């Protein structure tokens, strides 16, 4: 069965007389029990923090999406990345983090984990099987993100997970870019796949949410227990919104994916652009790995402009009318940011021009193209 069909039917309440098509939202902190004997039972939900029917339905949808054994939900995508890491480390450990990771994940590792005597070593996202050379006796986790944030390097997941398995190391991927629709990392040996559901599943830039899906029940229990100990809870309204987004994510994603590739193809030949960084474009250095492991693209990509002044870059972004200036992606509206102020790379060669990231929404491709073309007038 195709994903769009599955997403229409997954985690629906049984049809009855006049039942709604999605589970109801139950807002609760206290849950009441009929009998005192039931108060300490471990087999039933005892308190609002432990979720509700709509949370369960959303977890079922994420398990189906990724082929996972268990999902924990979080109030943001960043939390969906940090809690799974915490579930797998202890003081004294060494972890490996791809140099292309989402910035706040890097800050969490460098800052918070460092205070707990956990050392983070950045590695080249294109390292492949050579990651074996970085493994130490105390390496507990390898963090992946493919393609990487801002610069879109594609990682050789089967090569890296094979090394991790040999050494009993947990692998965790930020799989936000593909929405799990064009990459299924658990099938390639990754242990935990994390999503900022804020993006494609929210789809309307008005809700924040995250999910971590584990390959085995043991890992899923470890993530869930860490989240429980730290008081993690996400609102039933947000869980409902994300489940609602699941119903329509496939056609929205397909349109955004097609727009992003069409824009990348056009920009690749544009005289003001030096390089497009889109894994689905044949000019991308990792295009062959992308073709092997992915079944499609995403809605977001970057371009390296020909060298120009910072003033021209700012004028270009300010001149865009249809692309909003703002972070994130996967919403119905297109966005653009200039990346250089936040670009931190220990391993990559310095880019030879300013980096601009485009997130494609649901507008018509030709209108977006015209908007970019008129903004290029700001650059000489």
Ligand X SMILES: Cc1ncc(COP(=O)(O)O)c(C=O)c1O
* Position among 161, 198, 235, 255 found at the interface with ligand X (CB under 6 A): 198
Kindly indicate which of the ranges 5-13, 44-52, 53-61, 70-78 contains the residues binding ligand X, using the contact rule CB under 6 A.
70-78
Binding mask 166-185 for ligand X (x = CB under 6 A): --------x-x---------
Instruction: State yes or no: residue 196 binds ligand X (CB under 6 A).
Output: yes
Q: Where are the alpha helices (DSSP H) in 154-213?
A: 157-166
User: How many CB atoms are closer than 10 A to CB 196?
Assistant: 28
Q: Write out the binding residues for ligand X, residues 199-228 only, by CB under 6 A.
A: 208, 210
- Spell out the residues 6+ positions from residue 288 whose beta carbon is closer than 8 angstroms to its own: none
**Which of 8, 22, 274, 328 is the binder for ligand X (CB under 6 A)?**
328
Instruction: Give 254: exposed, middle or buried? Use CB within 10 Å, 0-12, 13-18, 19+.
Output: middle
Residue 192 Cβ, how far from ligand X at the closest point, in Å? 14
* Per-residue CA distances from 373 to 8, 270, 321, 332 (Å): 38, 9, 11, 21
Instruction: Give the number of C-alpha atoms closer than 13 A to the C-alpha of residue 58, restricted to the C-beta side.
Output: 30
Q: Which is nearer to ligand X, 78 or 192 (CB)?
A: 78
Rounded least distance, CB 330 to ligand X, Å: 9
Helices 236-268 and 365-375: crossing angle, nearest 10°?
A: 60
The binder of ligand X chosen from 77, 185, 245, 298 (CB under 6 A)? 77
Catalytic annotation, residues: 49, 102, 174, 199
Q: Which residue is nearest to ligand X (CB)?
A: 77
- 333 is a contact residue toward ligand X (CB under 6 A): no
CB of 77 to ligand X, least distance (A): 2
Query: Which stretches within the chain are classed as H helix?
Result: 3-9, 53-66, 77-88, 103-107, 114-115, 157-166, 217-229, 236-268, 287-293, 310-319, 365-375
Between helices 365-375 and 310-319, what is the axis angle to 10°?
Answer: 140
78: contact with ligand X by CB under 6 A: yes
**51 lies in the binding site for ligand X (CB under 6 A):** no
Block residue for tokens 């290029």: 376
Minimum CB separation of residue 76 from ligand X in Å reads 4
x/- track of binding to ligand X for residues 127-156 (CB under 6 A): ----------------------x-------
We find the least distance from the C-beta atom of residue 196 to ligand X, in angstroms, to be 3
CB of residue 249 to ligand X, shortest distance in Å: 15
CB proximity list for 276: less than 8 A, separation 6 or greater: 264, 267, 268, 283, 284, 301, 302, 303, 304
- Footprint on this chain of ligand X (rule: CB under 6 A): 76-78, 81, 102, 149, 174, 176, 196, 198, 208, 210, 327-328
């Amino acid at each position: 069965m195709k994903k769009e069909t599955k997403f229409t039917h997954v985690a629906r309440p049984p049809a009855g007389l006049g039942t709604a098509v999605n589970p109801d939202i139950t807002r609760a902190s206290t849950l009441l029990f009929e009998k005192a004997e039931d108060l300490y039972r471990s087999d039933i939900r005892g308190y609002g923090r432990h979720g509700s029917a709509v949370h369960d339905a959303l977890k079922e949808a994420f398990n189906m999406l990724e082929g996972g054994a268990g999902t924990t939900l979080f109030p943001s995508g960043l939390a969906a990345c940090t809690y799974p890491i915490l579930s797998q480390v202890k003081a004294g450990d060494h972890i490996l983090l791809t140099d292309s990771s989402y910035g706040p994940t890097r800050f969490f590792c460098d800052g918070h984990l460092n205070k707990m005597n956990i050392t983070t070593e950045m590695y080249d996202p294109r390292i492949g099987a050579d990651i074996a050379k970085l493994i130490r006796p105390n390496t507990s986790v390898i963090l992946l993100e493919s393609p990487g944030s801002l610069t879109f390097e594609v990682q050789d997941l089967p090569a890296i997970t094979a090394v991790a398995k040999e050494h009993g190391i947990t692998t965790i991927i930020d799989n936000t870019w593909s929405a799990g629709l064009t990459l299924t990392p658990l099938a390639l040996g990754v242990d935990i796949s994390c999503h900022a559901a804020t993006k494609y599943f929210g789809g309307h830039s008005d809700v924040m949410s995250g999910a971590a899906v584990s390959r085995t029940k043991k890992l899923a229990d470890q993530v869930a227990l860490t989240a429980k100990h730290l008081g993690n809870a996400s609102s039933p309204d947000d869980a409902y919104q994300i489940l609602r987004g699941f119903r329509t994510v496939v056609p929205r994603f397909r349109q955004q994916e097609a727009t992003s590739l069409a824009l990348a193809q056009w920009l690749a030949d544009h005289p003001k652009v030096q390089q497009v960084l889109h894994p689905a474009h044949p000019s991308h250095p990792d295009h062959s790995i992308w073709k092997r492991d992915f079944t499609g693209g995403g809605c977001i990509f970057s371009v390296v402009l020909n060298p120009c002044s910072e003033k021209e870059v700012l004028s270009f972004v300010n001149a865009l009318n249809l692309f909003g200036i703002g972070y994130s992606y996967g919403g119905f509206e297109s966005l653009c940011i200039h990346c250089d102020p936040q670009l931190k790379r220990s391993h990559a060669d310095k880019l030879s021009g300013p980096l601009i990231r485009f997130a494609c929404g649901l507008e018509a491709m030709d209108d977006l193209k015209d908007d970019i073309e008129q903004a290029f007038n700001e650059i000489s």
